[in-house]
Amino acid sequence: MHSIIHNLPARVSLCLTPLLLSNTATMQSFSAPSVSLLLLPLPLLLLVLFSSLLLLLFLQWRHDPVDKRLPPGSMGWPYIGETLKHYTENPNSFFSIRQKRYGDIFKTHILGCPCVIISSPEAARIVLVTRAHLFKPTYPPSKEKMIGPEALFFQQGAHHARLKKLVQASLLPSAIRESVSEIEQIVLKLLPTWENSTVTTLQEMKRYAFDVAMISAFGDGWCLEMEGIKNLYQCLEKGYNSMPLDLPGTPFRKAMKARKLLNETLRRLIEKRRESRKQGGGLLGALLGAKDHKLSHLSDSEIADNIIGVIFAAHDTTASVLTWVLKYLHDNGELLEAVMKEQEGIQRRIVEGNRELTWDDTRHMPLTSRVIQETLRTASILSFTFREAVEDVEFEGYIIPKGWKVLPLFRSIHHCADFFPQPEKFDPSRFEVPPRPNTYMPFGIGVHSCPGSELAKLEMLVLLHHLTTTYRWKVVGDEDGIQYGPFPVPKRGLPLKVTPRNKKAI
Ligand code: HEM
Ligand SMILES: *[C@@H]1O[C@H](CO)[C@@H](O)[C@H](O)[C@H]1NC(C)=O
Ligand SMILES: *[C@@H]1O[C@H](CO)[C@@H](O)[C@H](O)[C@H]1NC(C)=O
């Protein structure tokens, strides 16, 4: 009932458009009931049409501030909503078809929830930055339970800000520059296992990004609990991406069991660190340190949820982006040559200095960095994010009712030709000039933006340095295509054949 009333003004204006466009044709085809109108002299007829148009416009204008308009769009069938279509279509085409039809702000139904989809940079900025307090983060309850309800993603307001500061502190450049050499050690152990064999890039990158995430969570130094955490995590992940069916034997049930065990393992680890009076490094160290502060006391389960949350946010995302980087470099031979050259230059300096790769080296890789920037844009692995209106919000002339989901579409903004000419083309040189403000947000913007962006870029640079200077890679098979798991990645996780490079004398 509600939505029908709200829809009315939009319908009225829709009905008007054909009348205005095909004025003469309509007049000629007027049939019997309209004959009385036709008998009027033409100027009078035009006057009648014109004044009824004015009346309609007036009614609509008067209507607006009182009733407030929902954004345009189709809500599909009640309950089922547009959900079915959403599952059968690739989500990106689902959105882009509707964006073409309705514009940058439209409504739809996804998974039974009424949603407003947003794909202009200005509107996204309002939701995520300037009026972020009116749009809270929202996740399906099953996912929230699995990661842990006290994790950073799910928090709001002052509590979120306080927790974010703690998490951010351990991920700032000043904190992560010390871990370059540990990250490099992981790379130097991993890459030789690829030599002369066919590997699934996504799987390998997940292994890598997971190990880096463990360092960022716990600091360096391996302990007994880590192996256990790794195994339990894999179990958790399988369940996370499956249907939330809490029945015996389902991946969901197994994942919830793994989550419980993770809880216990982490608690043991926290206990141990506290007893030994060594906070240790990483996020855990930072959170334990905060525990000693009276002002920012964190409970054990709050610490556990945030550790699990950060590992979760860190590894699949980075692994998917790295997989795309290898795909794009493979498909763009000249670019790969240029990246190799840049990395060889760095390598020469390292050899000359008889030293290891450093943070400063990674700050002198402009081309490789642009390749990463362009990959983040083109692949846009986080196509969008979810928020929920905490009250009825007036927004760009529309009303977004309380409880509706709001989805800023990062991907549509990154693929808009107005901001990124020839958006489908992979062209890192476009980042030689900075993108227009608010048009590039692979790590989000505003209070919930990604605290791990610098670490993600760093680990990609370190891996690319060694990969391009030591190996060559060839994609196995020639299917171009995308799979979703849940992030978009090349088909079959990009199988690669990796061989040693014929080294020129350095
Ligand atoms: C290339 C890899 C990555 C991408 C593309 C990425 C992207 C994002 C985006 C878009 C958000 C904001 C989501 C929103 O506004 O709803 C986010 C949040 C977050 N990311 Fe990342 N991320 C990456 C890697 C990482 C890493 C390596 C870490 C940690 C070490 C991390 C930790 C987090 C956390 C904790 C949040 C939640 C922040 C909050 O709610 O305040 N991410 N990420
Ligand atoms: C891989 O193949 C190359 C060339 O055939 C060979 O030189 C190298 O030793 C091989 N590496 C491994 C680890 O088998
Ligand atoms: C983890 O432990 C806390 C108690 O400290 C509990 O409240 C929470 O429900 C546990 N989580 C899981 C998934 O068992």
Per-residue pLDDT tens digits for 341-356: 999 999 999 999 999 9
Residue 51 lies in a domain: yes
Pocket test for ligand 1, best of 369, 443, 455 (most atoms within 8 A of CB): 443
Residue 333 lies in a domain: no
Residue 276 lies in a domain: no
| pLDDT of 219 over the 60 cut | yes
450 annotated ligand binder: yes
| pLDDT of 291 over the 90 cut | no
Q: Which residue has the higher pLDDT, 124 or 276?
A: 124
Residue bearing the CA closest to ligand 1, atom 6 = 443
Which tokens in the block code for residue 319?
């692994």
Whether 154 contacts 447, CB under 8 Å: no
**In angstroms, how far is CA 239 from the centroid of its own chain?**
20
| pLDDT of 500 over the 50 cut | yes
- Ligand 2 binding residues, C-beta < 6 A: 195-196, 500
* Predicted local confidence at residue 435, as pLDDT: 97
364 CA from centroid of ligand 3 (Å): 45
* Predicted local confidence at residue 108, as pLDDT: 87
What average pLDDT score do residues 7-25 get?
Answer: 27
3-state SS class at 81? strand
Which tokens in the block code for residue 53?
């148009």
Best mean pLDDT range from 148-162, 239-253, 267-281: 148-162
Residue bearing the CA closest to ligand 3, atom 5 = 301
In total, how many domains does the chain have? 1
Pocket lining: 293 vs ligand 3, CB cutoff 6 Å: no
Question: Which structural domain range is residue 43 located in?
Answer: 2-20+36-67
Dist. CA 80–CA 113, nearest whole Å: 10
- Tokens 């209507």 identify what position? 63
| pLDDT of 421 over the 80 cut | yes
Q: How many CB atoms lie within 10 A of CB 20?
A: 10
Whether 217 contacts 266, CB under 8 Å: no
Pocket test for ligand 3, best of 263, 268, 307 (most atoms within 8 A of CB): 263
| pLDDT of 56 over the 90 cut | no
- Ligand 1 binding residues, C-beta < 6 A: 137, 152-153, 164, 167, 171, 213, 216, 309-310, 313-314, 317-318, 321, 381-382, 385, 442-444, 448-452, 455-456
196 CA from centroid of ligand 2 (Å): 6
From edge to edge, which strands make up the β-sheet containing 495-500? 198-200, 495-500, 471-475
Q: What pTM was computed for the model? A: 0.85
**Of 45-54, 116-125, 396-405, 417-426, minimum mean pLDDT range:** 45-54
Q: Which residue has the higher pLDDT, 9 or 47?
A: 47
Sorting pLDDT into bands at 50, 70 and 90, what band is 113?
confident
- Tokens 């855990």 identify what position? 284
What percent of the chain clears pLDDT 70, i.e. is strictly above it?
Answer: 83
Residue 160 lies in a domain: no
Whether 460 contacts 320, CB under 8 Å: no
Whether 346 contacts 374, CB under 8 Å: no
Pocket test for ligand 1, best of 129, 317, 325, 407 (most atoms within 8 A of CB): 317
What average pLDDT score do residues 161-180 get?
Answer: 94
What average pLDDT score do residues 31-57 get?
Answer: 61
Cis amide leading into 65 (omega within 30): no
Whether 216 contacts 179, CB under 8 Å: yes
pLDDT in tens, 328-345: 999 999 999 999 999 999
Whether 367 contacts 386, CB under 8 Å: no
Residue bearing the CA closest to ligand 3, atom 6 = 301
Sorting pLDDT into bands at 50, 70 and 90, what band is 370?
very high
What average pLDDT score do residues 359-366 get?
Answer: 98
Residue 56 lies in a domain: yes
* Mean pLDDT estimate for the chain: 84
| pLDDT of 3 over the 50 cut | no
Pocket lining: 270 vs ligand 3, CB cutoff 6 Å: no
Q: Facing residues of 198 across strands?
A: 497
Burial-class residue 432 by CB neighbours within 10 Å (0-12, 13-18, 19+).
Answer: exposed
Dist. CA 477–CA 202, nearest whole Å: 15
Residue 50 lies in a domain: yes
| pLDDT of 322 over the 90 cut | yes
Residue 173 lies in a domain: no
Dist. CA 53–CA 59, nearest whole Å: 10
* Predicted local confidence at residue 28, as pLDDT: 31
Residue bearing the CA closest to ligand 2, atom 13 = 195
* Predicted local confidence at residue 39, as pLDDT: 59
Under DSSP, the state recorded for 504 is P
Ligand closest in space to the Cα of 305: 3
- Where do the H-state alpha helices sit in 22-156? 23-28, 35-38, 42-67, 83-88, 91-102, 121-125, 141-147
Number of H helices, E strands in the chain: 21, 12
What average pLDDT score do residues 470-478 get?
Answer: 94
Residue 7 lies in a domain: yes
505 CA from centroid of ligand 2 (Å): 19
| pLDDT of 23 over the 50 cut | no
Pocket test for ligand 3, best of 145, 260, 307 (most atoms within 8 A of CB): 260
What percent of the chain clears pLDDT 90, i.e. is strictly above it?
Answer: 63
Sorting pLDDT into bands at 50, 70 and 90, what band is 50?
confident
What average pLDDT score do residues 294-319 get?
Answer: 89
What average pLDDT score do residues 437-443 get?
Answer: 96
Ligand closest in space to the Cα of 197: 2
